[in-house]
Chain A
Amino acid sequence: MDTLPPAQPVRGKAAWAVLAAVLALSSAYGLSLSLRHAAARTSRQQPTPEAWFEVSTVASPALVTQGRALFLSSCAHCHGADATGDEGPDLHGLEVSDRYISNTITHGIKGEMPSFRKKLGGGDIVSLVAYLHSL
């Protein structure tokens, strides 16, 4: 290895390197916020808050059964008893995240679907999400 005299300040350069990394991440975050708000405006939905740490849902058969019961009492009159859609859309094969579904159930969709914030608790929504993903 070619070894030159250690005359150049390494720490100063490292500080610039850290600054470049922080600027890069900040720019990405700024673009992300802008895109999320633009998407929310066009889809009429609120941007979903994100968390660094998140526990993934474990869909047990019992949870799915509980979700099915809740679905029949709260959702089936619009989405159909078999969730293939009636007034509301078909819910089979949803390719969206748990958080997206729970956000939709909690907040509803303006002019299309009511909010279930008051009717369903967190545990109810978890079981509903498990049921919908089982379809």
Chain B
Amino acid sequence: MDQAFWAKMHGAAVHFPIALTLCSGALDASGCFWPDAATRRGLHAAGYWTMLIGAAGTVPAVVSGLFMTKGVMLGHDALRLHHLFAWPAFALILGIAAWRVLAKDFATRRAALGYLGAVGLAAILVMAAGYWGGEMLLAR
């Protein structure tokens, strides 16, 4: 399969983890402060599943990206900047998802705030990676 195929696959795969990670952070953040207990539980449950599906979605995104670039992990110029944000985001999202699977729920307020901080950082990294990904396509 040629690079054009993998470029299309990468484009098809990357948007799910970006959207789901951002949604998960927003859902969990809302769940921390929502006044109604039943709604709080629902928001956390939605945050849990969107994070898990988003984290699972990072794998095809990364694999298709590696096939597209023939295994380049850093590269040059915009691709390099894309990777410098994408790799930490990938590791952080999978780490966050693993923690969430093990923890299931937030045992303490500190754990919840730490988790939301990590998700916020992942969201910033993902957005920066997405920005430089867009620059590669649109800035020529």
Contacts and interface: CB of A to CB of B under 8 A. Distances in A.
A34 B70 CA distance: 9
A72 interface: no
A28 interface: yes
Contacts of B111: 10
A58 interface: no
Interface residues of B, number: 39
Contact of A6 (B80, B87, B91, B107): B107
A39 B32 CA distance: 49
B97 A32 contact: no
Interface of A: 1-8, 10, 13-14, 16-22, 24-25, 28-29, 31-39, 50-52, 54, 56, 97-99
A36 B72 CA distance: 7
Contacts of A19: 98
A32 B69 CA distance: 9
B100 to A, nearest CB: 9
Nearest to A36: B71
B41 A54 contact: no
Contacts of B32: 1
B66 A32 contact: yes
Interface string B97-140: 11100110111110110000000000000000000000000000
Given A36-B71, A36-B72, A97 B95 contact: no
A4 B44 CA distance: 14
B96 A56 contact: no
Contact of B99 (A17, A37, A52): A17
A120 B26 CA distance: 56
Contact of B33 (A1, A13, A24, A56): A1
Interface in B49-78: 58, 62-63, 66-67, 70-77
Nearest to A100: B76
Given A21-B92, A25-B90, 17 more contacts: A1-B40, A3-B109, A10-B103, A10-B108, A13-B103, A17-B98, A18-B95, A24-B58, A29-B73, A31-B63, A32-B66, A32-B73, A36-B70, A39-B71, A50-B73, A50-B74, A97-B77
